[in-house]
Structure 1
Amino acid sequence: MNRRLILAAILASLICSSASAAIADDAIDPSLATTAPGDPTRWFDIRLLGVEGQGWSDTKAPFDRLPARAEGVVRDAVWGLSRHSAGLCVRFVTDSPEIQARWTLTSDRLAMPHMPATGVSGLDLYAKLDGRWHWLGYGRPEQAPTNTGTLASGLEGGPREYLLYLPLYNGVSSVEIGLPEGASLSKAPARPEGKDRPIVFYGTSITQGGCASRPGMVHTAILGRRLGLPVINLGFSGNGRMEAEVAELLAELDPAVFVVDCLPNMSAAEVEDRVEPLVRIIRASRPTTPIILAEDRSYSNAPLVSSLRNRNATSRAALRAAFDHLVAEGVTGLHYLPGDPQLGDDGDGTVDGSHPTDLGFVRMADAFEPVLRAALAGQP
């Protein structure tokens, strides 16, 4: 064997060893799976793999987004919405040629008039391909409470990292990954230092994911994949109002950056009253963490409806005034995200003039990304 072939063989061996190590280091014991008579599928609770997207571990139920102690402190509407699993996900490694899922929903409302069941109540699977996340399959919610489905089959290439997103506008009481007997399962490799602190998004129905066709298509998830960072989604449909009780909870977190995107749920007067107190509450605990204050997206039909143009203009003016005042007072680490570029200018970015389609969410991610990158890099 010549030298070149010897080197190639050594390299191949190292690659195989590395892939095997990714499985062996945090391998899930097959005895932890559940099985049913006559069914060769082994079912693994995703909590064995570590759920991403939760800011607190002291939750009332396994897939809640706020801590149990928030009940009775935040408004009832916020508490109820916090029990939706928006933004929660799990990363794992398997060599299985087939991946199934079984999940139990907490609500029988599978869909909404303007948002499909796949986004409201479905699962969404991505695979890492050549170092990038690539969409692979989805879990179709066809009934309540429990659904079982094949997310992907005929997979080739040995061990691979996967990313599974949970429903956006429904809750789940359990989620399991199903693999055939003999397939390996392990936790995904830990995120590298500098990529392990999350982006915290606090906002409205748009932040929560309305009206994405799949859980992975909301802009918060898109940005998490692009930037290689975990994401905590604290979007509360109709109820992102910069309230002090929520601000106090935000201040408990230690993210890489906060994104505050609440204007679609607030009047100009509310913006004027609440922006500065929210920033001060966060700054009291997190004096240097970047904070992005985001304007509301432009209503897609605003060019023809003056009341909608005025709604955007007045809330933005109040946000800008608060931002300028905070900066003038010496508050550092603040960043500003304009609203006009977020959905494009052709009117095709929303379902109903307000809530983005998948196209709209991609455009929002495009608008948010440079501001996020600047904030993360410590640039103005």
Structure 2
Amino acid sequence: MKKFFIPVVLLLLCVVSVSAQKQIEASTLNLIGKPFELTPNPYHRVDTLVYKGFNRTENRQVRCPAGMAVLFKTNTRNIHITTKWGYVYSSNSTMPISYKGYDLYIKNADGQWQYAASGSSKAYKSERIETFALIENMDGTMHECMMYMPMYSEVISCKIGIDDDAVIESLKSDFRHKIVVYGSSFTQGVSTERSGMSYPMQFMRNTGFQIASLATSGRCLMQPYMTDILVEIKADAFIFDTFSNPDAELIKERLMPFIDRLIAAHPATPLIFQRTIYRERRTFDTVLDAKERAKAATVEELFAKILVDPKYKDVYLITPNASDAHETSVDGTHPNSYGYTLWAKSIEASVIEILNKYGIK
């Protein structure tokens, strides 16, 4: 009887500990990093009932809250997260804490966002509700918090649980302007260890510019229906990682119509394109290397004309770098979090210089 009694008591204590918390839906606080301000599900990046043309993969991707973060302040000592899942992703090269977890930053005494905690539930199936402790045993003083949403799984509901005697309030964002980044799995953050470690999120913390991510892993192909979305998004600037997924022929076919539509929709708005990064496995894969060389040559050929044409005076081409002695790759294609750190830092000076021309500071 004793052997049965002790585990039951421990279980009851755990239940009491969680139930002693009050919960608030994360979206009722300050949810930043959304391409569109209003969607029926606040954690969706795109309203798939309005915008059509997606295949099944794309439909799932734009319903994932990649790049979104919740800003709040609280004096709780403990934070628990309760998630109701929609589509749940799985990956061999990306940490679960990144694709179905939460990443917490807290402002330190110097006013900088400092990593505090991260974690995920055990959910591997949709329509499951699970709770886990994100951080425990804080000092009980008021802290300013930024919690990144899961990088690659759909959230139906996210409730932030705080101590029953604590308060939680929406925190005003001090990130400036709105820059939309459209890109591939690189931009989404595949192979990161935490959801706040994609290069757009690191760039955002480093510079103070607000980033909204419209990344679609493997499906950033400048499709006309994706261009429809970019045409209607309101932004101060755009950054593109559009040459990582399509082959040379597709780039040649779609780039100019893509740029022309964006210029017409967003006149005098900087359109900053990035060359694709070096995929490490191409070094000894001759077929892949030939494809990558063809893509790069096509981009250079097209931009040699674009960059001297006054019609395209707001179009730019910059070069990112995510490699350090060829040791930052996870799977031969995607960099690890340190590789994305290198990427964010490698484009920082160029992007800031361009934005400053437009009074975006």
* Cα deviations by residue, 1:302-325 (Å, 9 ceiling, x for unpaired): 333333332222212222222232
Matching of residues 311-350 of structure 1 within 5 Å: 311-330=291-310, 331-339=312-320, 342-350=321-329
Query: In structure 2, what is the equivalent of residue 116 of structure 1?
Result: 95
Query: In structure 2, what is the equivalent of residue 59 of structure 1?
Result: 39
Give distance in 2, aligned partners of 1:239 and 1:112.
17
Does residue 126 (structure 1) correspond to residue 105 (structure 2)? The answer is yes
Residue range with higher mean Cα deviation, 202-211 or 50-59: 50-59
Does residue 41 (structure 1) correspond to residue 21 (structure 2)? The answer is yes
Does residue 89 (structure 1) correspond to residue 104 (structure 2)? The answer is no
Give distance in 1, aligned partners of 2:101 and 2:235.
27
Deviation >6 Å, runs of 4+: 35-38
* Cα deviations by residue, 1:41-88 (Å, 9 ceiling, x for unpaired): 000001111311222244242311112344433444322211112111
SS of equivalent residue, structure 2 residue 244? helix
Does residue 280 (structure 1) correspond to residue 263 (structure 2)? The answer is no
Task: Sort the Cα spacing of 1:363 and 1:158 in 2 relative to 1 into closer, same or farther, 3 A.
Answer: same
SS of equivalent residue, structure 1 residue 377? helix
Give distance in 2, aligned partners of 1:152 and 1:345.
33
* Cα deviations by residue, 1:116-147 (Å, 9 ceiling, x for unpaired): 21111111101111111111111222134222
Give distance in 2, aligned partners of 1:108 and 1:210.
15
Task: Sort the Cα spacing of 1:69 and 1:293 in 2 relative to 1 into closer, same or farther, 3 A.
Answer: same
Residue range with higher mean Cα deviation, 99-108 or 361-370: 99-108
Give distance in 1, aligned partners of 2:194 and 2:305.
39
Give distance in 1, aligned partners of 2:172 and 2:40.
28
Give the counterpart letter for 1:61 in structure 2: N
Match of 1:299 among 279, 284, 297: 279
Give the counterpart letter for 1:119 in structure 2: S
Residue range with higher mean Cα deviation, 212-221 or 329-338: 329-338
**Are 1:71 and 1:79, in contact at CA under 8 Å, matched by a contact in 2?**
no
Give the counterpart letter for 2:164 in structure 1: E
**Are 2:30 and 2:171, in contact at CA under 8 Å, matched by a contact in 1?**
no
**Are 1:93 and 1:185, in contact at CA under 8 Å, matched by a contact in 2?**
yes
Match of 1:224 among 204, 207, 211: 204
Give distance in 2, aligned partners of 1:156 and 1:38.
18
Shift of 1:362: 1.0
SS of equivalent residue, structure 2 residue 20? strand
Residue range with higher mean Cα deviation, 146-155 or 226-235: 146-155
The normalised TM-score by structure 2 is: 0.88
Match of 1:155 among 127, 138, 147: 138
How many aligned positions are there? Answer: 339
Shift of 1:175: 0.5
For structure 2, the residue ranges without an aligned partner over 5 or more in a row are: 1-14
SS of equivalent residue, structure 1 residue 241? coil
Shift of 1:37: 11
Match of 1:205 among 156, 177, 185: 185
Task: Sort the Cα spacing of 1:298 and 1:38 in 2 relative to 1 into closer, same or farther, 3 A.
Answer: closer
Match of 1:187 among 170, 175, 187: 170
SS of equivalent residue, structure 1 residue 265? coil
Give distance in 2, aligned partners of 1:230 and 1:147.
30
How much identity, in percent, do the aligned residues show?
Answer: 22
SS of equivalent residue, structure 2 residue 234? coil
SS of equivalent residue, structure 1 residue 251? helix
Does residue 106 (structure 1) correspond to residue 86 (structure 2)? The answer is yes
Give distance in 2, aligned partners of 1:189 and 1:71.
30
**Are 2:82 and 2:159, in contact at CA under 8 Å, matched by a contact in 1?**
yes
Does residue 359 (structure 1) correspond to residue 338 (structure 2)? The answer is yes
